Amino acid sequence: MTSATGKRNDLRGRGGFTLLELIAVLVLLSTVLAIAAPSLRGFARGRQTAESAARILAVTRLARSRAASCGAVHRLHFDRAAGEYWLTRQQAGTFVELAGEGGRYRLPAGVSLELDLPVENSLDGEAYVEFYPDGRCDAGTIQLTGGQGEVYQVTCLSASEQFEIVQPEENDRL
């Protein structure tokens, strides 16, 4: 016989997950994340070197465009000991730091800097690359090495070219 109120709602027939099944899935996910976490940390550290190279490349392009637009020589200075780099502009015979336009940049911990620049471009332990109003710049190589051995080079082969990022294995193919 059927009920006068219609079909009976039976909660036991509905699909769903038990608490035990949900706990088992959470334990499985936690185990997978615990195994993957150390390699993800290494990946993030490895990306710091690539990001630093990209930032230096952006600053070289800024210096080149600013030198052309202002009609003044610009320098990209490097302080290897402090792991810093910054831009200056020639003004009345001296070079002044660009105020409010980026300031000083610092390399992340674990990233080291090697420079292969013209010998005459050195002041008191600081090396620099000059960018001229006619679009030329000093040729040279800025090499960044990360804590895991990854190497990136920001290099300019001649005064008329722009800086670009090259990984050493790519450089061997050239």
Q: Provide the β-strand partners of residue 86.
A: 77
Kindly tell me if the per-residue pLDDT of 3 is higher than 80. Answer: no
Domain 19-173 has CATH 3.55.40.10: yes
| Residue 141 three-state SS | strand
pLDDT in tens, 89-99: 999 888 888 87
Report the b/e string of 136-161 with b at 16+ CB within 10 A: bbbbbbbbbbbeeebbbbbbbeeeee
DSSP codes joined into one string, 35-99: HHHHHHHHHHHHHHHHHHHHHHHHHHHHHHHHHHHHTS-EEEEEETTTTEEEEEEEETTEEEE-T
pLDDT in tens, 4-59: 555 555 555 567 889 999 999 999 998 888 887 776 666 666 688 889 999 999 99
User: In this structure, what token pair is assigned to residue 18?
Assistant: 């038990």
Question: How confident is the model at residue 122, as a pLDDT?
Answer: 64
Site of tokens 């790519």 = 170
Q: Rounded to two decimals, what is the model's pTM?
A: 0.70
Kindly tell me if the per-residue pLDDT of 82 is higher than 50. Answer: yes
The span from the CA of 160 to the CA of 157, in Å, is: 9
CA 44 to chain CA mean position, Å: 11
Per-residue confidence band for 171, with pLDDT thresholds at 50, 70 and 90 = very low
Q: Provide the β-strand partners of residue 155.
A: 141, 164
3-state helix, strand, coil in the chain (%, to 5): 35, 30, 35
Question: How confident is the model at residue 48, as a pLDDT?
Answer: 86
Kindly tell me if the per-residue pLDDT of 173 is higher than 60. Answer: no
pLDDT in tens, 129-148: 999 999 999 999 999 998 88
